[in-house]
Amino acid sequence: MDNMYRPAGGADPQDSRSNEQFRAAPPGPSGPAPQRPGAQQPPSLQQHYARDRRHAMRWSIGLTLARKALTIWGIEVSHESVACAIENAELNGIANAAFFAGEVGRSLEALRERAGEPDVVVVDPPRAGLSAKIVRRIIEAGPSRIVYVSCNPTTLAPNAAQLVEAGYELKRVSPVDMFPQTPHIECVAVLDRR
């Protein structure tokens, strides 16, 4: 693993959901969230707000799950995202989470050696979906469940097909319209090992 970080330091909360607070970091490599065509707000304000909220949401998934899990391990290529996750964990009193900055394909293998096999893997890839290498690493880890949060159903489909071919069963896919009046839609897929 390239770098491991643990929660430390204070945070300036900018976002709050269901009694949890999340500070948003600058936009990551996936770029800005989709915008409604013809929006009337000044572009810079609207884009920063959308990017910041989307960035915070990435880590809110794992940190929300941490309350019901023994341990949460997060891997992200962006050091800024990892720093934001650490602040959000501390802000919410979450001590059972650790975060790694590094390329997911390489870091996942090192994490398995250190922490053992995962029970559940939650992925939230960029629009391009998961690379073949990352799908292969997830399959090698052999979790009993995979939760795939997708911002692009056209890349979810081939990734899900690879996982089904490897012995997982697609249990359900739920579309979520987080960006009304745009062509963008999120999907959450649940796959269980057969």
Active site positions, annotated: 151
Which conformational region is residue 129 in: left (phi greater than 0), alpha (psi within -120 to 50 degrees), or beta?
left
Cβ atoms within 10 Å of 151's Cβ, excluding its own:
22
Nearest residue to 87 via CA among 2, 6, 1, 26: 6
H-helix or E-strand spanning residue 20: strand 20-22
Give the residues across from 186 on adjacent strands: 176
Q: Which two tokens stand for residue 24?
A: 């948003």
